[in-house]
Amino acid sequence: MSGGFRLILFLIFFAASTTRAFDFDALSALISNKNILSIEDLLKELPEEMKSNSVLMHKSLSLHEASYENPRAILFNKDASLLLTFNGSPSQYGFHQLELIAFRPETNRFEFREIKFPTQPNNKLRLSSQVHISKANPPVCMGCHGGLDPRPNWEPYNQWPGAYGSMAAGISVDRSPEAALQLEPFKRFLKESHSHARYQHVKNLTDIIIPEIDFYHLENLSTLTQKLSQLNLRRVVRIMKSAPFFEEYKLALIATLYCEHEVARYIPAPLFQKHIELTRPIKEVTSAIEGRSNSLIEQLNLVFEPQGLSTTHWSMDFGTGGKQSATHRFHTPNSDSEHILLGLLLKDEPAIRALIDAYSPHKTCKTLQEKSHSTLNDAVEKNQLLSKLSGLSVQEKNKRIPKIDLLLSSKVKPPRLLLQCASCHASGSTSVPEIPFDDLTLLKNEFVHNSLLHEIRYRLAPSTPASEQMPPQLHGLESDKTDLLRFFESL
């Protein structure tokens, strides 16, 4: 694809993203102004923008229980900057509450909330006197959504386990064994949803129906994936810009994406060799399947791991490392992750955009290479970049292993349960949030700068539902949990 054509795509993307969608503030005002006291009444009042964009989860790892008959519905606005979820039966956990995700464009961060409603559908049982909207990012949400920099849990294109249409957005006998199992329950749901107090408001579930072969296509799965990916990549770029040497590596990143070359071409050879030494193998970072294309992930790792930023939680997958995807864990229906990243990086770089406009693609790439080498050579000479990377890299941080031994040898005797916390959350696993329970200095810093201690208090509380308590599957250890909390509070 030519550079000029790619830039047209970027301009289209950014122009489309500036139109205002129904957002969290509008939702809060709607609930307040119309004195809405039930999910059913809220669904009636939602704009068509929300009702017409939805996907259904017959299996869910969220706090909303789900089934074929009463799936978890996910409604989203036109740019996926607001997601609302609910289920359909009073017997299901979470029936009286909405879960929501809101993307804040001014900060490029996702916020998570619960909205609890006071009444059942018949308005007879009043659980409380008013609607309660939680503060952003309550502990009950953070355990599954990444904690320190939360993001949605959503698999890349084109498989979404647990969703109706989980295999490439299609339901039919011939699509896959899973799709065949979904066929009859989905047909029943379509028939019965029209009279359901909640699901009757969910529209446009299918975009293609071929009755002759019993085929249903659910395009909203791809639509949600594309739009959420665009927002998450804005979050990724914000994280990139927090790297200590982002400005020095900026040209190398832009050139890699624009010219579709490997990043090695834009980093001086001695410095790049240091990057190779300080970057973990791709399989340790993404759980990627051997032989699968991971070019984007590999390039990001090579630039940012030596600067101390792990890319493990940059994608939205549920710790699968992209195994559900046709290519990699940032894969979109439009196959445009790299182009979106490039557009975001160029958005505030008028000088580089002018260079691209002025030159042919070949001359642009040559010029970017020269400028990137010059910038990085200066950083090596003047800022001692090589030695600084050695102390920053994720790989060097992991040389604290065996981490449990360090805890045991520390002057402060650690509580017994702290070792269990460290064995999971400081192990480098991609399936749980990374928390430095093995490094008391880093852990204290986390307590100072974010709400981690508040979340830990919730996870250790005996009143917390068993499914949300940490450490999991531990019973009769309240004294140990008390010791652990006192230890954390003493830091």
Per residue in 93-130, pLDDT (tens digit) is 899 999 999 999 999 999 999 999 986 554 444 445 68
The residue that leads in pLDDT, 449 or 357, is 357
Q: How far is the C-alpha of 279 from the C-alpha of 272, rounded, in Å?
A: 11
How many CA atoms lie less than 13 Å away from 101 in the CB half-sphere? 27
At 59 the pLDDT is: 93
The CA-atom distances, in angstroms, between 21 and each of 168, 180, 214, 265, 410 are 27, 36, 35, 41, 52
- Nearest Cα residue to 236 out of 312, 160, 139, 327: 312
**444 is written with which tokens?**
């204290």
- Which pLDDT value is given to residue 403? 46
Q: Determine whether 32 is exposed, middle or buried from the number of CB atoms within 10 Å of its CB (0-12, 13-18, 19+).
A: exposed
Query: What is the tens place of the pLDDT at every residue in 380-403?
Result: 998 789 888 877 777 665 554 444
Average pLDDT of span 369-380: 96
pLDDT tens for each residue of 407-433: 544 555 677 677 677 766 765 555 567
pLDDT of residue 472: 66
Residue 1: pLDDT band with limits 50, 70, 90: very low
In this prediction the pTM is 0.79
Q: Which residue has the higher pLDDT, 343 or 139?
A: 343
Find all residues with CB under 8 Å of 287, minimum gap 6, and list them.
319, 320, 321, 322, 323, 430
What mean pLDDT, rounded, does the chain reach?
Answer: 83
Give whole-number Cα distances, 155 to 145, 147, 234, in Å: 13, 18, 17
Average pLDDT over residues 465-481: 67
Locate the domains of the chain by residue range: 3-153+170-217, 227-396, 414-490
| Structural tokens at position 316 | 């939205």
Q: Which single residue is written with the structure tokens 């309240």?
A: 478
Q: Which residues pair with 113 in a beta bridge?
A: 100
Contact 11, 342 (CB under 8 A): no
Give the residue among 301, 331, 302, 303 at the shortest CA–CA distance from 315.
Answer: 331
Q: What are phi and psi of 132, to 5 degrees?
A: -115, 120
Give the pLDDT score at 490. Answer: 79
Quote the CA–CA distance of 88 and 199 in Å, as a whole number.
7
pLDDT in tens, 212-267: 899 999 999 999 999 999 999 999 999 999 999 999 999 999 999 999 878 999 99
Q: Report the interhelical angle of 440-449 vs 452-460 (nearest 10°).
A: 100
